[in-house]
Structure 1
């Protein structure tokens, strides 16, 4: 029987998950850290994502389980309640951080053309309002939402393409010769470790490729289409990110990108192309973040309910109204709102990157453990583990050097998550239900 998801649909799902506002957010922050080298660091972040994807692909083809991250780790360590609980808690909070990031980006671009553009409190309030709007949409009904996904994905890709072309052919801030000279100067001026740090931070912009695996029961030939969809989508997204970041730096003064990093692309487009360019970027950002918020809340709330079914999260989270996990959606909205309220853009971005680097590291370790079953390369497995460890360490080290109080806050979150995961694992190990 022919399944409903072919290669084209799977690529759309992966791209839709990745291009969810990431490029609109990471551009200004990356440029503020390493200047004209930002496009190359963003592509390097894609290389890190490729190594992480290798483990997901191998485990996805082997297990063919729509539970993806949580299910893979649980099935690889079937006798460890601690392993299941930890991967469950970290995966869910990784999704919550991306939810907060998308909402923050939505808010930043929506108010970028108003008098509140630089008002942090208004940005946070509007981001929280957006979270709850999509929470109520998910609580009310999900019928018909899936039908719009392909159209929204390709529409935002088209907008990004148009923006890139307009920036390339605009009255540029610098020509290619000047750009090459600027890159050379930045290579001499900037510590090369900072390039790796930015690459690690931008890893979160590639999060979402694993959503392909959630559709394994509805796809044709998962053995072929899982790796094809994930690798092709990663290549396409890295190319898109590189083109738009490169064209932005060539067309827009670096100081403008840095000063307005929360909505750098909209501000720069307005300066180069006028109100039309600004509005086009805002539409693209809103479209990208809207689809990402909705799909992230939809998918991750159901994964949260499944983990709660296994008693590694509060039992109330698995309760449903029909097929809708009501309390899981509410819990995600509340937690994402708190994260937005207490943290700024950079904290949310870095927390999300560290979390997904750590979760991807656990996937790499799981794949390495059963590499003889997944037909994985030992060298590739070791390289992936080392690369992900280095990425996570670099972000933590950067936080310690530049914003120690923020690092303490992030570590406090992880300590709380770890204690909760340990507590639920302990209760599960003592329960007769297991």
Structure 2
């Protein structure tokens, strides 16, 4: 056994500082190396930095812009772009916290592991892991409704039936394989970014002097105005839900210590830029009454360009929203798998198919819950519930990193290190946005 342990240490398969959660991996790796037993199937490291970044952009962009711009504008009015910027600030500090923690502990069910290491409360880490799963399934339910709304433009079927077909089809793709499903998601991400480019292009073509009106996006110092902006920020925050998903597929990322921080920060930066430009064009082109009441808000911009661009964009919007559902289902199933692998959930959920190398039982469970939620809750409630759950998780993740830093826990390998004020501000901003959710709309 001593020789096996030495083998694991030499191959950097065992971190002595965190051996509590890696013992099973050490034992399996050692036994596999010695030829004692055949190791069970494991998740496959297939994701490079470009695929990882496209994965994050896919869930972030598809979830927020294509579905919730109208709902956000209903609260913030023409100042909706400011709500997105405020949400980006909240997410920004927490994204740096995730960048460090994901390189310290590159495992599935990342948030649960972070809380376990930082706050030393196993029950709390399980609760946080389940909350992450909840955010994924609730978010998937919200986006699937949006996808079905866009599909109704092509198929005269009920919204409920289309929603069910979307979720089932996406669940089958998620079970296919991590490389295959993320590769498909990457293609869909490129398509959906192209769709946003069409929105900006036709919006400017319809109103060429739009840039002279940018100063109208600056809100006055008025309590009522800022109350609406802050309230809308909680919904806008939903648009940024996604970057943290990359931490939960860490076991399937190549060179996670290097690629995870880069992927997280690239996703946040690109998404913020795209959001501000697209939302600014939309609120300056589309009448606010039409925008606030639309279930497919971006399509309204293309209606000024004629039938063909509208049809093209509607097809793109379908792909974009389906992409968001796909990536959230992948994330939630990996967290369930990770919790089961850490023996915090029944071992059945840790089953990995030897054929697809994906957690099939966990994926099936996620699909069933998504279907249930999509049938019984409206899209705005689902989005706000997702934002609230994720913000609570962010609070505990930032607290965990703060505790780790204060305890001077040593790092192993090339961890991405941030200053101590980062988790402090990440926690403060997350709490403030949570309190904003209590404001009257």
TM-score category of the 2 structures, normalised to the smaller one: 0.7 to 0.9
Match of 1:108 in 2: 149
Give how far 1:187 is off.
Answer: 6.1
Tell me, in whole angstroms, the C-alpha distance in 1 between the residues paired with 2:135 and 2:219. 36
Distance (Å, rounded) in 2 between the aligned partners of 1:185 and 1:231: 28
> Do structure 1's residue 295 and structure 2's residue 327 form an aligned pair?
yes
> Match of 1:367?
401
Q: Hey, what's the Cα distance between the residues in 2 that align with 1:158 and 1:184?
A: 28
Shift of 1:65: 2.9
CA-CA distance at 1:236 after TM superposition = 0.8
- 55 and 9 in structure 1: CA distance in 2 versus 1, 3 angstrom threshold: same
Give the corresponding residue for 2:370: 336
What does residue 140 of structure 2 align with?
99
Larger Rg: 2
2:123 — aligned with what?
82
Q: Secondary structure at the match of 1:197?
A: helix
Shift of 1:390: 1.0
Q: Write the distance in 2 (CA, Å) between the matches of 1:9 and 1:294.
A: 15
SS at match of 1:144: helix
Q: Is the 8 A contact 2:200 2:281 kept in 1?
A: yes
CA distance in 1, matches of 2:388, 2:204: 33
What does residue 274 of structure 1 align with?
306
Q: Distance in 2 between matches of 1:219 and 1:113?
A: 37
- CA shift digits 1:74-122 (9 cap, x unpaired): 33345x2311221121111011111112201101111146777xxxxx3
Name which of structure 1's ranges 273-282 and 142-151 shifts more when overlaid on structure 2: 142-151
Q: Which residue of 2 aligns with 1:283?
A: 315
Conservation of the 8 A alpha-carbon contact between 1:163 and 1:280:
no
TM-score, structure 1 as length reference = 0.80
**Partner of 1:47 in structure 2?**
89
CA contact (8 A) 1:134 1:294 kept: yes
Aligned residues: 388
Pairwise CA distance, 1:224: 4.2
Residues 136 and 331, structure 2, Cα contact 8 Å, conserved in 1: no
Secondary structure in 1 matching 2:298:
helix
How far is the alpha carbon of 1:276 from its aligned partner? 2.5
The structure with more helix, counted as a fraction of residues: 1
What is the CA–CA distance in structure 2 between the aligned matches of 1:330 and 1:217, rounded to whole Å? 20
- The correspondence for 1:180, drawn from 168, 193, 215, is 215
In the alignment, structure 1 segments of 5+ residues that lack a partner are: 117-121, 403-434
* 1:139 CA displacement: 4.5
Selected match of 1:246 from 280, 296, 306 = 280
Q: Give distance in 1, aligned partners of 2:55 and 2:179.
A: 17
Q: Give the Å deviation of 1:267.
A: 2.9
Change (3 A) 1:303 1:166: same
Q: Which moved more, 1:361-370 or 1:192-201?
A: 192-201
CA-CA distance at 1:42 after TM superposition:
1.0
Residues 308 and 268 of structure 1: CA distance in aligned 2, closer, same or farther (over 3 Å): same
Please give the secondary structure, in 2, of the residue aligned with 1:20: helix
1:27 to 2:63 alignment = no
Give the conservation status (yes or no) of the 8 Å contact 1:21–1:285. no
Counterpart in the other structure of 1:306: 338
Cross-structure match for 1:423:
none
Contact 1:266 1:278 in 2 (8 A): yes
Match of 1:157 among 182, 193, 214: 193
C-alpha displacement of 1:185: 7.5
Whether the aligned pair in 2 keeps the contact of 1:100 and 1:348 (CA below 8 Å) is: yes
Q: Does 1:128 align with 2:169?
A: no
In structure 2, relative to structure 1, the CA distance for the partners of 1:204 and 1:311 (3 Å cut) is: same
- Inter-partner Cα distance in structure 1 for 2:147 and 2:225: 32
Residues 196-247 of structure 1: CA deviation (Å, up to 9, x unaligned)? 2212221121111123334545656544433332222211111111111111
Farther off after superposition, 382-391 or 11-20: 11-20
Q: Choose from 252, 260, 265 the match for 2:298.
A: 265
TM-score calculated relative to the size of structure 2: 0.79
Q: What root-mean-square deviation, in Å, do the aligned CA atoms of Structure 1 and Structure 2 show?
A: 2.8
Q: Which runs of 5+ in 2 are unaligned?
A: 1-10, 12-44, 412-416
Answer whether contact 1:52 1:360 (CA < 8 A) is retained. Answer: yes
Given that 2:46 and 2:178 are in contact with CA atoms closer than 8 Å, whether structure 1 keeps it comes out as no
Q: How many angstroms apart in 2 are the aligned matches of 1:325 and 1:277?
A: 40
Q: Deviations over 1:27-47 (max 9, x none)?
A: 101111111100121122112
